């Protein structure tokens, strides 16, 4: 299946964490329904120190996209810090930890993939003002506009992404031309799936 869909930020629905200490909004996930997903991309809001829900059997990437940053404090004594989108933290979902904002409320982008069913890569980058070419070569690719706006074009169509809009690309779709507004920045999530996994 080769398919491209725009996922507007206006469609994000925030829900409170079970412990009431933060909020989270799914950008996308597969499957769309049910508790056990293969992959999930979301944006959280952390307002105070809070324990993260454990996800045994999942791998996790975490990067701050707004606010003053956060420290992730693990039970084994390790601390990781993300102060912005370039500080990408990677850790196993089963590791028990607390997220602690460094300065006021902060918003991280989270990627989770179920180990043995999928693997992912999260990267963030500022685009060349003259535009850049990008080849969608993963099973699932998500482009998230973190700041500014970008135009994404392929032979199949053209899409405009404003702040926190996302473009989901199923399949090895081929070449896209990405044309940014000044100071645009994106997050790129590339997910490779095991055979027969839902997309």
Give 31-87 pLDDT, tens digit per residue: 987 778 999 999 999 989 999 989 999 999 999 999 999 999 999 999 999 999 999
Distance of CA 158 to the CA centre of its chain: 22
Per-residue pLDDT band for 126 (boundaries 50, 70, 90) equals: confident
* Partner residues linked to 43 by β-bridges: 25, 109
What are the residue boundaries of the structural domains of the chain, listed by start? Answer: 12-117, 119-193
**In CATH, what class is 119-193?**
mainly beta
The beta strand positions in 137-173, using DSSP E, are 140-147, 150-154, 157-161, 166-170
* Whole-prediction pTM: 0.93
Give yes or no for residue 171 having a pLDDT over 90: no
pLDDT of residue 196: 61
Burial class (CB in 10 A: 0-12, 13-18, 19+), 121: middle
Query: Which of the following CATH numbers is that of domain 12-117: 2.40.30.10, 3.40.50.720, 2.60.120.10, 3.40.47.10?
Result: 2.60.120.10
Average pLDDT over the chain reads 92
The pair of structure tokens assigned to 116 is 């043995």
């Amino acid at each position: 299946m080769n398919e491209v869909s725009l996922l507007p930020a206006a469609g994000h629905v925030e829900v409170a964490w079970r412990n009431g200490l933060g909020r989270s909004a799914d950008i996308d996930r597969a499957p769309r329904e049910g508790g056990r997903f293969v992959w999930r991309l979301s944006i959280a809001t952390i307002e105070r120190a809070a324990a993260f829900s454990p996800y045994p059997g999942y791998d996790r990437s975490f990067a701050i996209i707004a606010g003053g940053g956060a420290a992730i404090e693990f039970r084994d004594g390790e601390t990781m810090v993300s102060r912005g989108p370039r500080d990408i933290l990677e850790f196993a979902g089963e590791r028990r930890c607390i997220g602690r904002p460094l300065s006021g409320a902060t918003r991280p982008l989270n990627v989770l993939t179920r180990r043995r069913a999928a693997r992912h890569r999260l990267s963030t980058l500022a685009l060349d003002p003259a535009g850049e070419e990008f080849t969608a070569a993963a099973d699932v690719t998500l482009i998230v506009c973190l700041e500014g706006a970008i135009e994404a074009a392929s032979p199949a169509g053209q899409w405009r992404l404003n702040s926190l809009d996302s473009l989901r690309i199923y399949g090895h779709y081929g070449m896209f031309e990405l044309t940014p507004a000044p100071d645009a920045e994106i997050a790129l999530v590339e997910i490779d799936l095991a055979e027969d996994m839902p997309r």
